[in-house]
Structures are given as structure tokens and as C-alpha cells.
Amino acid sequence: MRFIFVVDGMNRTKKFIFLIAVMLPAFVLTSCDDDDFPDEPPTASVEGRVFTQNEFGQPLWNERSGVTVYLETAFRNFTVQANNTGVYRLTNAPGGTYLMRFSKPGFGTILRTGIPIRTGNPQFEVIEGFQQMNTVTLTKLPTTAFNNVQALLTGDPEEEDDPFVLTVSATMSPPPPPTGQAKGFRVFVGTNSNVSRSSYVFQKHFTTLNENFTVEIEDELFDLIPSTPGSLLWVAVYGDANFDESYEDETDQVIFPNLTAEPGQRVSVVIP
């Protein structure tokens, strides 16, 4: 009898342990409800429109499709396409400060930084659930070429205020249209033969109504470049839209979005 009692006790002990093992997961599962899990972070929906124009600022209504919009915040990024009316949309966008890049082959790329997309109290107007981004206009890149580029330096090095005048001349092709619209170009000046849109000391935007043009640059240039006798100034001329546009990218470099891919022939002039 004593032996049977011990065995029976062991059986009861095993049964008790078994019941605990079965009931514990059920208790854990039933004791958790939705409040025990964090909610999904709130998101926002954004909408905007991109316009396209030529180098004279005239709308190109039929070229609004094919624009790519890249959006980046923190460690997330998204890419959306604008439709044939230039409208783009992004849903489920996390809140944050965004960089937005607008691009299309054959057009200048536009960058916008510091754009606040908020999931609550949005800064932008909300229409049908979409925060309305500011419109952006892309410009078709000019194809202007420059021939017979020349640079001439005149003046008196003894003059303290305005010692020199830099004169730049060239012939542009194609010329300004006969309808009277001015064509734009941008002159870059540097101190070495690599002068370009990204390597320069001085730059300035100009427009002209003439195929053959001449422009003068005076004290604003020589406030930046030491007028050391015998040193060289290098000049590069790029085609540009007939309006002046530039912005700083995320590295604080100045970007000129509407320039031709390459300048005309680089030329140099000696400082007397």
C-alpha cells in the first residue's frame, strides 16, 4: 500500500506539472491585448505638380510626363513618377524633413531641401487627404554653342578702385530667335585652365538679343581675384536659360541647373 501511494503521488505530481505547462502559454496569450503592442508610426500623403518650360520660360505642356521625383528623409527614400499633367503623389510617407529632387532627361535638375512633411499639424494645405507641395518648374536645357570666344583685359594697374575691365566676346549658335527673345549665357572666370561650372572664382549671368555679343566685367571680378602682373585669367562661356537660376545642393555647392553640358572654347588673358 505504501508503494502504491508513492506511485500515485508521483502520477499526481506529473499531472500537475503537465497542466501548468499547458495552461501557461494560454495564460500568456490571453493576458496580452492590442494595447501591449506599439502602434504603427503615423504617415502622411503628399501631392505636387511639376511644370516644364523652354529656355525662354515658355510652357511646354506636352512634356510634363516622365518627370522623376526622388524624396529622402533620414534613412528612407522614395521615387515616384509624375503623370502626363505633371502631378505626382506619395502615400504612407513618414514624417520628417525631406530632400526632394526633380529630374527628367534633357531638362535641368531641381533640388529642394528642408521640406517639412508632418503627420500632424501639416505646414502645407491639405486637399482630400494630400499635403500640397509647392510647384516646381523644370527647364529644357539649351543647346547653344559658342564660337570665336575672346577675352581682352584693359585698364591701368595703377588705379586702385577699378584697375581693369575684362571684355568677353563670342558668337552664339543658334542665334537668338527673330521673335525678339533674348538668349541667356553665363561667364565663368578662374585662375587655371580647368575653369568650369564647378571650378571658378567668379561667374555672372547675361542675356543678349544678338548673335555676336560683347560683355564687360569690372570691379566685381577684381574684388575676388588678385591683379598680380603676369598671372592668367581663364574664361569659359556656357549657354543658359534667359533667366538667372541657381541653388545650393546638400553639400552647399552652388548649382546652375540650366547650363549647356559643355562650355565654348576656354580662353585666357594675361594680367599686365
Is 218 contained in some domain? Answer: yes
Domain count, the chain: 2
Do residues 258 and 153 both lie within one domain?
Answer: yes
By three-state DSSP, how is residue 5 classified?
A: helix
For the stretch 226-236, pLDDT in tens is 778 888 999 99
Is 7 contained in some domain? Answer: no
Is 13 contained in some domain? Answer: no
Do residues 80 and 125 both lie within one domain?
Answer: yes
Do residues 108 and 157 both lie within one domain?
Answer: no
Question: Where among 86, 111, 139 does a domain terminate?
Answer: 139
Contacts 24+ apart (CB under 8 A), 85-91: 85/49, 86/49, 86/50, 86/51, 86/52, 87/47, 87/48, 87/49, 88/47, 88/48, 88/49, 88/50, 89/45, 89/46, 89/47, 89/130, 90/45, 90/46, 90/47, 91/43, 91/45
Q: pTM here? A: 0.81
Do residues 162 and 118 both lie within one domain?
Answer: no
For the stretch 51-101, pLDDT in tens is 999 999 999 999 999 999 999 999 899 999 999 999 999 999 999 999 999
Which CATH number do you get for residue 183?
Answer: 2.60.40.2060
Is 1 contained in some domain? Answer: no
Q: Cell digits for 147?
A: 564660337
Do residues 162 and 263 both lie within one domain?
Answer: yes
Do residues 156 and 85 both lie within one domain?
Answer: no
Which CATH number do you get for residue 91?
Answer: 2.60.40.4130
Residue-range definition of the domain harbouring residue 100:
43-139
For the stretch 154-189, pLDDT in tens is 876 666 666 789 999 999 999 999 999 999 999 999
Q: Single out the residue of 154, 43, 52 nearest to residue 94, CA to CA.
A: 43
Question: Where among 139, 172, 203 does a domain terminate?
Answer: 139
